[in-house]
Amino acid sequence: MSRSTTTAPDKEQVKAYLLDLQDRICQALAAEDGAATFVEDSWQRAEGGGGRSRVLTNGAVIEKGGVNFSHVHGTQMPASATAHRPELAGRAFEAMGVSLVIHPNNPYVPTSHANVRFFIAEKEGAEPVWWFGGGYDLTPYYGNEEDCQHWHQTAFDACQPFGEDVYPRYKQWCDEYFFLKHRGEARGVGGLFFDDVNEAGFEQSFAFMRAVGDSYVPAYQPIVARRKNLPWSERERQFQLYRRGRYVEFNLVYDRGTLFGLQTGGRTESILMSLPPLVRWEYDWQPEAGSPEAALYDQFLPPRNWLIQQ
């Protein structure tokens, strides 16, 4: 895929959108929680750039949630970015984005992750190379058909104005990306994952990134509202903590954003804010056949078509 176009990107326009998106997501999630607010922590990166991290902890609904904005730049592309783009080695780079992970208290409320980002690599005498990336995915502990359908239908509706093939392509990419190879299982029920988006030009590519970013709250908030007051016991809590271990494993072993942040000397506290506050591992644990826990593995984690309308 070509990573350059003739339309010059407007970096300030992208940055303004991302800052506003962070504001809107934090406001919506804090309102849904109803008891806690996001605490902001602004930071500077020695090599260039910085960001503002916002974290909500010990809320009525959200046990730990982080919504990060970062805008970093440097003189050398990190290894995580040039591994599959060797032609970009030696270029200066600029990256900005919003990334978030929400870990709820109630095991019947899924964890959710989202990010949208813009990347540009520049070199004197050469055309800049830029692209958009991002997506979102849902990680339930106890599967619910209505929730999964709503999540994917919202993603489908966001993609539809940009082409019939967009949702199925990025849904499949999400299923393949958020997969723990060493476990042979998906992290959750997927959603969207896209990268290297620029072929339609800056305006259209930016519009698509905004469509994804703007659809996160409509995708997640109704699920939280439906499930946050369901009763739960220690059994559900222990399974939630066990499954959170899969989240940790993915983020530390496979996640591109984590690797990029660490390799570029980003702020470690902000990079690792995605990790849950409590987690547990059990040696060779297996769910009881026919149990709600087994249903997650049998009915929800294998990739499937969740759309309400075909």
Q: Running DSSP on this structure, what letter comes out for residue 46? A: T
CA distances from 220 to 28, 95, 151, 269 (A): 10, 26, 7, 25
Comparing CA positions, the residue from 145, 137, 134, 140 lying closest to residue 108 is: 140
Is 99 annotated for ligand binding?
A: yes
3-class DSSP assignment, residue 69? strand
Name the amino acid, one letter, at 265: G
CA–CA separation, 92 and 282 (whole Å):
44
Encode burial over 3-19: b for 16+ CB neighbours within 10 A, e otherwise: bebeeebeeeebbebbe
Is 205 annotated for ligand binding?
A: no
CA–CA separation, 236 and 217 (whole Å):
25
In the set 71, 73, 84, 113, the catalytic residue is 113
Is 152 annotated for ligand binding?
A: yes
Is 71 annotated for ligand binding?
A: no
3-class DSSP assignment, residue 13? helix
Token duo for residue 66: 């982080």
Is 61 annotated for ligand binding?
A: no
Name the amino acid, one letter, at 278: L
Is 54 annotated for ligand binding?
A: no
148 within 8 A of 155, measured Cβ to Cβ:
no
Is 182 annotated for ligand binding?
A: yes
113 given a catalytic annotation: yes
Is 84 annotated for ligand binding?
A: no
Name the amino acid, one letter, at 251: N
CA–CA separation, 242 and 245 (whole Å):
5
Token duo for residue 148: 């999964």
Encode burial over 200-222: b for 16+ CB neighbours within 10 A, e otherwise: eebeebbebbbbbbebbbebbbb
Q: What is the 3-state composition of the chain as percent helix, strand, coil, each rounded to the nearest 5? A: 40, 25, 35
Q: Which residues are catalytic?
A: 113
Residue list for the binding site? 99, 103, 113, 115-117, 152, 182, 265-267
Residue list for the binding site for a divalent metal cation? 103, 113, 152, 182
Residue list for the binding site for substrate? 99, 115-117, 265-267
